[in-house]
Structure 1
Amino acid sequence: MPRPPMNAAANLTLPQPGPDGSFPTPSRSLSPVGTTWHLRAALNVAVLQCAKAGDPMELQYNAFLAAHKAVLARAHEGLKAEYRSSHGSAWQDRFDDDMTRLYNFYAQPPAREGFCRAAAPLVATAATTPTAGLEGFAAPALASLDVPFTDFYRAYAEYRADLIAWQAGQQAAARMAAVQPVAPAAVPRLSVSDEVLMGDTRVSDGDMGASTGR
């Protein structure tokens, strides 16, 4: 029986793939300020998921926050302004919901190992990227951080297809077993060995008398 990949649960709900077959993520089709802020969120989750206190990754992340404090603050305010423009009075709730969804996306346990591998070098690079180049760094960095999750989604979709095929095979085998003809019971036959019938061919006097009437 097929098993879910990466020790995932057997009843996950996947995002609906697009027309090109790719899976959407919360970090696609963003403005520059949205991309920069989403990068901060992704790296934040990476440090929480992948590093222990005092690890180089944690120190590099703190250096990233310090080096780009002003850029990150502008990105945050710019993204909130986009939500105000798009959602009116409901912008705060929508913003909070989307940020929760964003953090949950990067915290998915099945993809954690791949996510940590992808994030570690990016945290180090982000800390030393010039402030003027942070927006240009953010887009390809986010694309790299999405890969472990879209790879997981793809593997999970394949698992589901394999499971459906396996279940169909099991059902077909069960149906065939149910209609298999049962061989009729053999009718017992009495047989006598020729050795018993022909074991003694002599004729006794008594037999002769009986046959001649004497």
Structure 2
Amino acid sequence: MTVLRSVLATVMAAGVLAASPASAQFFMKSHDFSGEPVRGDEPGIGLDLPDATEAELTAGLVWNLRAALNIAALQCQFAPTLLTVPQYNGMMIDHAAELKSTYATLAKYFARKNKAPKAAQNALDQFGTRIYGSFSTTAAQYGFCQVASNIGRDAIFLPRGSLHTLAKQRMREFRNALVPWGEQRFPRGIGFDRTILVPRMDPICWKKDEWNTKTCGPTVQWVVR
């Protein structure tokens, strides 16, 4: 009976796995968006933070990562198997302490750069708004959503307090995914044989609308175009 139960359990488990939905796959082969790790002050990676310390640059990267995953949770719900919503929610819970310290670091940076508290808060708010806007995409949505799903999955399995390492390692990939790419397995477009047969149109071969048999032969001649 023990052997029979084991066999039945294996069959049932296989059935459950077969019935579970696969992660969304938009292409036979997706574009490789991976890139080198970053510090945070490279062109095109994030918003400029003049005179920022290394800790402040790192905080900027973490806030970029948070914003990107938030945008994905909002924009990628057309493909629920990507799990961008639960991934974002899980990341916010698991890494709440690091996100809180990240926000505090950014607040201190803008307070240092702006003497008036109100100006500092406005600058911080504008920083966050502009980051969100920089990740919004329509044309590149498929690639962006797939990358966001992969990065979001890694985020929820990270040890707490190490979200900054993921931001440094994957932020270039996130930015690369904002450029639209299509199917990589096959070349873009579909090839067509555009050669056609047309009758020979030399004026000498036609007399009004009839083929001139005296000059060009007894039957209409066809040529490839």
TM-score range, shorter chain: 0.5 to 0.7
Q: How does 1:1-214 map to 2 (within 5 A)?
A: 24-26=44-46, 31-51=57-77, 56-89=83-116, 90-149=119-178, 151=179
What displacement does 1:63 show? 1.2
What displacement does 1:42 show? 1.0
Q: In structure 2, how many angstroms separate the alpha carbons of the residues matched to 1:44 and 1:28? A: 21
What displacement does 1:67 show? 0.7
- Opposite residue 104 of structure 2, the aligned amino acid is E
Q: In structure 2, how many angstroms separate the alpha carbons of the residues matched to 1:100 and 1:124? A: 25
What displacement does 1:72 show? 0.7
Give the direction of change, closer, same or farther, for the CA distance of 1:112–1:23 in structure 2 (3 Å limit): farther
Q: Which runs of 5+ in 1 are unaligned?
A: 1-21, 153-214
What displacement does 1:36 show? 1.4
- Opposite residue 85 of structure 2, the aligned amino acid is E
Classify the secondary structure of the residue corresponding to 2:139: helix
**Greater helix share, 1 or 2?**
1
Give the direction of change, closer, same or farther, for the CA distance of 1:109–1:52 in structure 2 (3 Å limit): closer
- Opposite residue 74 of structure 2, the aligned amino acid is L
TM-score, structure 1 as length reference: 0.54
Give the direction of change, closer, same or farther, for the CA distance of 1:103–1:48 in structure 2 (3 Å limit): same
Which consecutive aligned stretches of 4+ in structure 1 deviate over 3 angstroms post-superposition?
27-30, 52-55
- Rg larger in structure: 1
Q: In structure 1, how many angstroms separate the alpha carbons of the residues matched to 2:43 and 2:167? A: 20
- Opposite residue 62 of structure 2, the aligned amino acid is T
Give the direction of change, closer, same or farther, for the CA distance of 1:25–1:138 in structure 2 (3 Å limit): closer
Q: Deviations over 1:21-50 (max 9, x none)?
A: x96243577611221122111111111111
Give the direction of change, closer, same or farther, for the CA distance of 1:144–1:54 in structure 2 (3 Å limit): closer
Q: In structure 2, how many angstroms separate the alpha carbons of the residues matched to 1:23 and 1:31? A: 13
RMSD in angstroms over aligned alpha carbons? 2.4
Q: State how many pairs are aligned.
A: 130
What displacement does 1:52 show? 5.4
Paired residues of 1:27 and 1:142 also in contact (CA < 8 A): no
Q: Bigger shift: 29-38 or 97-106? A: 29-38
Q: Deviations over 1:50-97 (max 9, x none)?
A: 125975321122111111111111111111111111122222222222
Paired residues of 1:52 and 1:58 also in contact (CA < 8 A): no
Give the direction of change, closer, same or farther, for the CA distance of 1:91–1:53 in structure 2 (3 Å limit): farther
Q: Deviations over 1:101-154 (max 9, x none)?
A: 1111111322322211211110011011001322111112221100123x45xx
Give the direction of change, closer, same or farther, for the CA distance of 1:148–1:123 in structure 2 (3 Å limit): same
Paired residues of 1:80 and 1:95 also in contact (CA < 8 A): yes
- Opposite residue 88 of structure 1, the aligned amino acid is K
Q: Which runs of 5+ in 2 are unaligned?
A: 1-41, 50-55, 181-225
